[in-house]
């Protein structure tokens, strides 16, 4: 079970949003690089980064910061946030990103997703963000009338290397992940699944680890770290434990 501490970057700062709402965000003093270095020092091997500036603009705004983290911290990094072109994917792959997360652009254009999986084999992760079991896109502002499971069935054979399932109603709330729905997605998915949204305690981590034989590869931990609900020393004990 891989543990992915999260870094969301906005205006060169670490921030956390509640349910993806840019108007409901908390800024933290630590820089993204210092935060990544802290994770490295605690023994973490994986990192989840969202370029929120990129999500708003469709550009790789924080590429330099991410490149610095990769070159100095020796972490396996997955990156998402406004990745809408093959050129953006290539930029991330070229600097050593392990997985590039595609979201809205891939959901709105399945051919783009399919071709990306071919062009960048083993590098494409798909972010499926759901509200009441329906997919949401465009920074979660647009709720599609498409069941997450139905969409997954359509793209399951594209060659995805990872799936990140986020329950929007849980994200940033520290109310606990939607394990039941994530397991349903994992049972259907032909690639490993990452749990995302709502992690509040070490108990959530332990429960996720119990699901590691159900095609669940890892779990993302964000706001609970920044707010001190989960201590890094305690979380680090769960690495490969």
Q: What is the percent of the chain where pLDDT is above 70? A: 93
Q: Is residue 222 part of a domain?
A: yes
CATH number assigned to the domain comprising residue 185:
3.20.20.70
| Tokens at 15, concatenated | 């921030």
Q: Is residue 89 part of a domain?
A: yes
Least confident of 29-33, 187-191, 201-205: 29-33
Q: What is the pLDDT of residue 71?
A: 96
- 86-94 and 110-119 helices, crossing angle to 10°: 30
pLDDT in tens, 17-69: 766 666 767 888 889 999 999 999 999 999 999 999 998 888 999 999 999 99
Q: Is the pLDDT of residue 16 over 60?
A: yes
Q: What is the pLDDT of residue 139?
A: 64
How far, in Å, CA of 21 to CA of 162, rounded?
25
What's the domain range around 161? Answer: 2-236
Q: What does the pLDDT average to over 167-185?
A: 84
| Tokens at 203, concatenated | 């108990």
Q: What is the pLDDT of residue 18?
A: 67
Q: Is residue 123 part of a domain?
A: yes
Q: Is residue 241 part of a domain?
A: no
pLDDT in tens, 111-149: 999 999 999 999 999 999 998 888 988 666 667 789 999
Half-sphere exposure of 174 (CA within 13 A, CB side): 14
What string of H, E and C letters represents the secondary structure of 181-229?
HHHHHHHHCCCCEEEECCCCCHHHHHHHHHCCCCCEEEEEECHHHHCCC
Q: Which residues are annotated as catalytic?
A: 8, 129
Q: Is the pLDDT of residue 241 over 60?
A: no
Q: Is residue 70 part of a domain?
A: yes
Q: What is the pLDDT of residue 20?
A: 66
Question: Does this model's pTM top 0.85?
Answer: yes
CB atoms within 10 A of CB 235: 21
Q: Is residue 49 part of a domain?
A: yes
- The structure tokens 């500036």 sit at 53
Q: Which of 55-64, 166-175, 182-191 has the highest mean pLDDT?
A: 182-191
How far, in Å, CA of 38 to CA of 44, rounded?
9
Q: Is the pLDDT of residue 172 over 80?
A: no
Q: Is the pLDDT of residue 9 over 80?
A: yes
The two beta strands, 21-28 and 13-18, are: antiparallel
Q: How many domains does the chain have?
A: 1
Q: Is residue 6 part of a domain?
A: yes
């Amino acid at each position: 079970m891989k543990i992915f501490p999260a870094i969301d970057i906005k205006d060169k700062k670490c921030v956390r949003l509640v349910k993806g709402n840019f108007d409901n965000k908390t800024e933290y003093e630590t820089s993204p690089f210092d935060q990544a270095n802290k994770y490295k020092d605690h023994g973490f091997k994986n990192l989840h980064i969202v370029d929120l500036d990129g999500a708003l603009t469709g550009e790789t705004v924080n590429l330099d910061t991410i490149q610095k983290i990769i070159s100095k911290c020796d972490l396996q990094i997955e990156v998402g946030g406004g990745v809408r072109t093959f050129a953006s994917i290539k930029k991330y792959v070229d600097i050593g990103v392990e997985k590039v997360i595609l979201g809205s652009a891939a959901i709105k254009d399945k051919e783009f997703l399919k071709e990306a999986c071919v062009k960048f084999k083993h590098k494409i992760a798909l972010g499926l963000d759901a509200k009441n079991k329906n997919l949401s896109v465009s920074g979660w502002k647009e709720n599609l009338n498409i069941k997450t499971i139905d969409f997954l069935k359509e793209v399951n054979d594209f060659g995805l290397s990872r799936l990140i399932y986020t329950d929007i109603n849980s994200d940033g709330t520290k109310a606990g992940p939607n394990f039941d729905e994530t397991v349903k997605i994992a049972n259907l998915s032909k690639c490993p699944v990452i749990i995302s949204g709502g992690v509040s305690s070490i108990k959530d981590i332990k429960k996720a680890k119990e699901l590691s034989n159900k095609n669940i590869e890892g779990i993302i931990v964000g706001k609970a770290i920044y707010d001190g609900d989960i201590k890094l020393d305690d979380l680090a004990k769960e690495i490969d434990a």
